Structure 1
Amino acid sequence: MTLLRIENLTASYGVSQALFGVDLEMAQGEVTALMGRNGMGKSTTVKAICRMIRSEGVLTLDGQDLHTLPSHKVARKGVGLVPEGRRCFADLTVRENLIAAARSGDWTLRRVTELLPRLGERQGQRAASLSGGEQQMLAIGRALMTNPRLLILDEATEGLAPIVRQEIWAALRRLKQETNVAILLIDKSLKELAAVSDRAVILERGRTVWSGAMGALTHDITGKYLGV
């Protein structure tokens, strides 16, 4: 069953158009990698989904037109975002950050800290005292506490230490195996994306230029659209 449907999506920043025709479709429980070189429209697509930027075209979640909703109601409909740059509440503790966003459902404080044990160990610490990697884990945990149907991670492992990256990818693999949450991933690590994603969508200059099963993503395609 289709959860997220995007067809011919366009969006602009003032007079500067950023998206010229993005097509993307996700089923419940599916992991999709949204790929492309820097500046090709990936983060803008995320902003359009979350209603942080005005857009046109088909944009539906479980059949409902997201264009009719403000961003906070999109979140209530089940879209959880782990934004680029983490954006934790610095003066709140780890526990306070997690419960501030909590909504009823399967994801509880206990379950989140079981998935991401570092958060359990640091519940009483202020977010500002955490390392960058721990803050990223906190951002993921905070999004899960909203009990989303669609979890979006925008460069969730960018600039992190290798050991922390491994912990985050392990958590994402568990999410795929143990839950029915749909996950939209933006990341530069093709190897890690390939290990966890069912499908891939590639953007080039604000348009979808390739989509298909991750296993069908050949070296020729990655060289053409993802190479430096």
Structure 2
Amino acid sequence: MSRLLELENVTAAYGAVKALFGVSLALDEGQVVALMGRNGMGKTTTIRCISRLLLHSGGRLSFAGRDLKGVSAPKVAQLGVGLVPEGRRCFAPLTVAENLVVAARPGPWDIERVQALFPRLKERMRQTSATLSGGEQQMLAIGRALMTNPRLLILDEATEGLAPVVRQEIWAGVRALKAEGLSILLVDKSLKEIVSVADSAVIIERGETVWQGGIDALTPELTDRYLGV
């Protein structure tokens, strides 16, 4: 497998407030990597750096062999990074179909494939996204990211706050995407589901990588130390 995403000692700040002090992670083509840590430890900031919504101040960040220093957020999206941000952020006035079409780029993912992945959306194509349930909006956000035909899909808390039955539908979708060989970086609080789908994990604590390895090496001692409340 070839290396798709790599961060080496990445640092970042919000103005004068430093947020990342040295995050390192690696993700290969076709791999699912879980980015883990307690709330406020830098997971979303790391994702913002990868998607270029926040520029890193130090270290190295590369995607598909390209150094991302100075690369804009739109350009990173064009290179193949599809982001499903925390909070979904669908375009409320647009219909489901319009939300999908506006993001479309050439490739195998089209509206029909998104509908097959999330059949609920097929029944809602003419509704505005503002009228959807939270779970349906999350499915739409994932579908919209897939319509960009990404090489890497980033899921930031894709199942947070959703009903159990809806969470299971979304996790089933994630497993289907993994089976197709899509590279995925995910953040989620459900350790059981993460273990079922991820190949490896990276744990960050106070803006630094403190552990990374295969998902089978994620011991109860590690989860208690770095993920426990």
TM-score range, shorter chain: over 0.9
Q: Post-superposition shift, 1:107? A: 0.4
1:99 aligned partner = 101
Q: TM-score by structure 1 length?
A: 0.99
2:153 aligned partner = 151
Q: For residues 123-152 of structure 1, give each alpha carbon's deviation from its aligned partner in whole angstroms, at most 9, with x where no partner exists.
A: 111101000110000000000000000000
Q: Find the aligned partners of 1:31 and 1:6 in 2 and give their Cα distance.
A: 16
Q: Find the aligned partners of 1:68 and 1:91 in 2 and give their Cα distance.
A: 33
User: Share of identical aligned residues, percent?
Assistant: 64
Q: Find the aligned partners of 1:93 and 1:54 in 2 and give their Cα distance.
A: 32
SS state at 2:225 partner: helix
Map 1:60-79 to 2 at 5 A. 60-79=62-81
2:122 aligned partner = 120
Give the unaligned 5+ runs of structure 1.
Answer: none
1:169 aligned partner = 171
Tell me which stretches of 4 or more aligned residues in structure 1 moved more than 3 Å.
Answer: none
Q: Post-superposition shift, 1:68? A: 2.3
Task: Write the letter of the residue equivalent to 1:187.
Answer: D
2:33 aligned partner = 32
SS state at 2:100 partner: helix
Q: For residues 71-119 of structure 1, give each alpha carbon's deviation from its aligned partner in whole angstroms, at most 9, with x where no partner exists.
A: 0000000000000000001010000000100000010111111011111
Q: Find the aligned partners of 1:64 and 1:181 in 2 and give their Cα distance.
A: 19
Indicate whether 1:51 and 2:52 are aligned.
Answer: yes
Answer yes or no: is the 8 Å Cα contact 1:51–1:67 preserved in 2: no
1:8 aligned partner = 9
Q: What's the RMSD between the two structures over aligned residues?
A: 0.6
Q: Post-superposition shift, 1:54? A: 1.7
Task: Write the letter of the residue equivalent to 2:112.
Answer: R
Q: Post-superposition shift, 1:37? A: 0.2
The count of corresponding residues between Structure 1 and Structure 2 is 227
Q: Find the aligned partners of 1:172 and 1:47 in 2 and give their Cα distance.
A: 21
Answer yes or no: is the 8 Å Cα contact 1:194–1:214 preserved in 2: yes
2:193 aligned partner = 192
Give the unaligned 5+ runs of structure 2.
Answer: none
SS state at 2:69 partner: helix
